[in-house]
A and B are shown apart, each in its own frame.
Chain A
Amino acid sequence: MASRMKKEAPEIPAGSMADIAFLLLIFFLVTTTIASDKGILNILPPKQDPNVPPPDIQVNERNIFNILINANDQLLVEGEFRDNTEGLTEDIKAFILNFGAPTEDAQALYNGLPATLKALAERSPESSDHPMTGGAVVSIKTNRGTSYETYLEVFDLVKKAYFEIYGERVGLTADEYRALVGENPGEAELIDRGKADIPMAISIAEPDKIGGE
């Protein structure tokens, strides 16, 4: 009996298996979109309580790096007209690291910087006092008619300036520093060391309505 069963055992042809698998493979190849959840992170300011007037913080004009973008996507950087964003990153880095009137803490921060960043400190009295809290602020003000693309380009360059500073402090390039996500303590320590005492002070002003949309 057993021997007869063995003889009649049907064999499934496996030759077409590869074809079937290929068909499925191609289907998934076509439908796959590698999810792109990358982007530029921004933290909005907390909402204003209508009963409490906004805090009247006096910041010296020299401590603000003003970038205005009008409805024609033209730039006004520190009162100076520009048609494109070339060299903006370098200007912002020089502004942040100016150390015009450093406090004691800021002087200690300056002494801890690598030589390449120290070289950027011009100590001009007309530029920012120091990069610590209450010091340098980069302000971006747009119009309601400014294109999102231009706004993002400028915001991107401001971020780049900060990331280049952070990266240089820990001996990495800006790209390498940005790739750190803090998954392990070593990485988290690198991130903290890079941005310690130099907060990313980017202020997005409410857009004005003149000539908008």
Chain B
Amino acid sequence: MAKFKKKTNTSVTISVASLPDIVFMLLFFFMVTTVMREQDLLVEQRLPQASQLQKLQKKTLISFLYIGEPRNPGLYGTEPRIQANDVLINPSDIVLWVNQEKDALSEAERDMITISLKVDREVKMGPISDVQFELREADARRILYASLQQSPQ
């Protein structure tokens, strides 16, 4: 019994002095990985699921095109529209847009430009084939169908 009494006398406190350090470490991790959304999405974005996804080596080569039904049907109608940067464009403007995106890259990388098509799952193939036709015209032939990882069945 005496032994037990001795033990209870010693008070154990966990030092919390390093807690701020741990939290700061986490904080810096999230600060570094955060990408602030620099543009408002004007179209619906529910990406489809697929299993054979690939990651690209160079992220700087990717430019995004968003396709989907406008979020504001009163202003833009209900037909699927294309969003590039932060404006809605027509398929005929794609060639110009691709050339602008290519200008931002260094000369050696221009042919490697990859267009990531972020397409809402409700969209039909008609508008997508129009976009692909324009991308062929603009000679930006590497495209990436952005999609989410399918959970294994």
**Does A21 lie within 8 Å of B33, measured CB to CB?**
no
Q: Does B108 contact A (CB under 8 A)?
A: no
The one of A34, A152, A155, A212 in contact with B33, judged by C-beta atoms closer than 8 angstroms, is A34
Count chain B residues whose beta carbon lies closer than 8 angstroms to a beta carbon of A. Answer: 53
Report which A residues bind B (CB closer than 8 A): 14, 17-18, 21-22, 24-25, 28-29, 31-47, 142-149, 151-153, 155-156, 159-160, 163, 174, 178-179, 181-183, 204, 206-207, 212-213
**Does B53 lie within 8 Å of A178, measured CB to CB?**
yes
Question: For the complex, what is the distance from the CA of A160 to the CA of B123, rounded to whole Å?
Answer: 23
Interface string of B69-90 (1 = CB under 8 A from A): 0000000000000000000000
Question: For the complex, what is the distance from the CA of A206 to the CA of B129, rounded to whole Å?
Answer: 7
Chain B residues within 8 Å of A145, by CB:
124-126
Chain A CB within 10 Å, residue with most, of B119, B124, B146: B124
Question: For the complex, what is the distance from the CA of A156 to the CA of B48, rounded to whole Å?
Answer: 11
**Does A151 lie within 8 Å of B35, measured CB to CB?**
no
Minimum C-beta distance from B114 to chain A (A): 8
Given contacts A21-B24, A148-B128, A178-B52, contact A38 B34 (CB under 8 A): no
Interface string of B23-66 (1 = CB under 8 A from A): 11011001101111100000000011011111111010010000
Output the nearest chain A residue to B53 by Cβ-Cβ distance: A38
**Does A183 lie within 8 Å of B125, measured CB to CB?**
no
27 interchain pairs, CB-CB under 8 A: A14-B20, A18-B16, A28-B27, A31-B34, A32-B33, A32-B34, A33-B35, A35-B59, A36-B148, A37-B56, A38-B53, A38-B54, A38-B55, A38-B149, A40-B52, A42-B142, A42-B144, A44-B135, A47-B136, A47-B137, A147-B125, A156-B51, A174-B52, A181-B55, A181-B57, A204-B132, A207-B126
Question: For the complex, what is the distance from the CA of A153 to the CA of B47, rounded to whole Å?
Answer: 12
If over half of B's interface residues share one DSSP class (helix, strand or loop), that class is named, otherwise mixed; here it is mixed
Report which B residues bind A (CB closer than 8 A): 16, 19-20, 23-24, 26-27, 30-31, 33-37, 47-48, 50-57, 59, 62, 114, 116-117, 119-126, 128-129, 132, 135-137, 139, 141-149
If over half of A's interface residues share one DSSP class (helix, strand or loop), that class is named, otherwise mixed; here it is mixed
Chain A residues within 8 Å of B48, by CB:
148-149, 152-153
**Does A148 lie within 8 Å of B54, measured CB to CB?**
no
Chain B residues within 8 Å of A179, by CB:
55
**Does B124 lie within 8 Å of A212, measured CB to CB?**
yes
